[in-house]
Amino acid sequence: MSFVIEVDAVSKLYGSGKSQVRALVDATLKIAPGEFISLIGPSGCGKSTLLRNIADLDQPTHGTIRINGKSPRQARLDREFGMVFQSPVLYEWRTVLRNVLLPLEIMGVPSAEAKEKARAMLRLVGLGAFENHHPWQLSGGMQQRVAIARALVFHPPILMMDEPFGALDELTRERLNHELLNLWQRQEKSTVVFVTHSIQEAVFLSSRVVVMSPRPGKIETIVDIDLPRPRTAEMRDQPRFFELVKEVRHSLREDEPLAVVDGAGA
Ligand SMILES: Nc1ncnc2c1ncn2[C@@H]1O[C@H](COP(=O)(O)OP(=O)(O)OP(=O)(O)O)[C@@H](O)[C@H]1O
């Protein structure tokens, strides 16, 4: 079995002596092509640390990470992955279209071809009519869709998302969950690593949910989500969905329940 992402005995320590923070200890995780993996757990359990180390935004203290057999640095240089953050990091002075064009410009894609791709992606996220708007003229949900379009426009084999819908209201969040799954299916199922605080969101989207616990940050358990695909809104009301939500909730460490909040604003 070949894996797209291999995290092997990774630890990340900050500082030293008594003030040392063990942000992540001995994390091992192997992700197969086309999996949708969510990382969930209370604040400070190391979710972002794990994602940031995979994405080469930080480096492990111990252990190794391979992405398609390469170091995270090489994978980043080879544009193996796109990233979406909680606050959509858009350029205010660029129009929506020019924000989505940015990665293609950097890659040197000819202008006419780049525009065609960017416009197609904007249509997919339902923003075809907004290409000449500036980010400040859009709602938070629309801005996040621009960020997703920009992350997907160069068809990265891997998408890493750090609480992309965390700042949105629950209805917008549910709608974007569906849009994300639709896009994912159209993109020949790239591999996704998705950080969230919401148990429902994790269960709805994922193939597997990685449950983490804090102090020190570590992987507690991994829950397989056996709901069929494509996932539909009705599934959120079905017994199997509730059972899986319960299973994930119970896997979260009992002494940390209040740090995990479901739904919007978590
Ligand atoms: N640059 C840093 N320097 C020192 N400590 C850090 C740094 N980055 C993270 N930490 C600590 O590492 C631990 C894990 O942080 P991390 O951000 O990965 O958690 P998280 O699970 O993503 O939390 P949240 O859900 O609140 O975003 C926390 O205790 C955090 O304070």
Reply yes or no on whether the pLDDT at 266 is more than 60: no
Please identify, by atom number, the ligand 1 atom nearest to the C-alpha of residue 41: 21
- Which pTM was predicted? 0.89
Measure 221 CA to ligand 1 centroid, in angstroms.
Answer: 20
pLDDT of 207: 96
137, 91 Cβ separation under 8 angstroms = no
Q: What is the CATH number of the domain that holds 208?
A: 3.40.50.300
pLDDT of 217: 95
Q: What is the pLDDT of residues 108-137, one digit of tens each?
A: 999 999 999 999 989 988 899 999 999 999
Q: Which residue's C-alpha comes closest to atom 16 of ligand 1?
A: 46
Measure 23 CA to ligand 1 centroid, in angstroms.
Answer: 6
264 in any annotated domain: no
Reply yes or no on whether the pLDDT at 258 is more than 70: no
Which domain range does residue 190 map to?
A: 5-80+159-255
pLDDT of 14: 94
Please give the structure tokens belonging to residue 246: 């319960």
Please identify, by atom number, the ligand 1 atom nearest to the C-alpha of residue 217: 14
Q: Which residue's C-alpha comes closest to atom 2 of ligand 1?
A: 14
* 144 lies in the same domain as 163: no
pLDDT of 262: 47
pLDDT of 239: 96
* 50 lies in the same domain as 108: no
85 in any annotated domain: no
Residue that the structure tokens 């079905």 belong to: 238
Please, is 176 exposed, middle or buried when counting C-beta atoms within 10 Å of its C-beta (0-12, 13-18, 19+)? Answer: buried
* 46 lies in the same domain as 165: yes
Q: What is the pLDDT of residues 65-79, one digit of tens each?
A: 999 999 999 999 998
Measure 50 CA to ligand 1 centroid, in angstroms.
Answer: 10
263 in any annotated domain: no
Name the amino acid, one letter, at 72: P
* 177 lies in the same domain as 95: no
Ligand 1 pocket by Cβ (under 6 Å)? 14, 21, 23, 41, 43-49, 217
> Predicted confidence band at 259 (pLDDT cuts at 50, 70, 90)?
very low
Residues 6+ apart with CB under 8 A from 117: 104, 109, 153
Pairing relation of β-strands 208-213 and 62-67?
unpaired
ipTM: 0.97
What's the mean per-residue pLDDT of the chain? 90
Q: Which residue's C-alpha comes closest to atom 26 of ligand 1?
A: 43
57 in any annotated domain: yes
64, 45 Cβ separation under 8 angstroms = no
Measure 76 CA to ligand 1 centroid, in angstroms.
Answer: 22
Please, is 255 exposed, middle or buried when counting C-beta atoms within 10 Å of its C-beta (0-12, 13-18, 19+)? Answer: exposed
How confident is the model over 30-53, as a mean pLDDT?
A: 95
Q: What is the pLDDT of residues 163-206, one digit of tens each?
A: 988 878 888 888 888 888 888 887 777 899 999 999 999 999 99
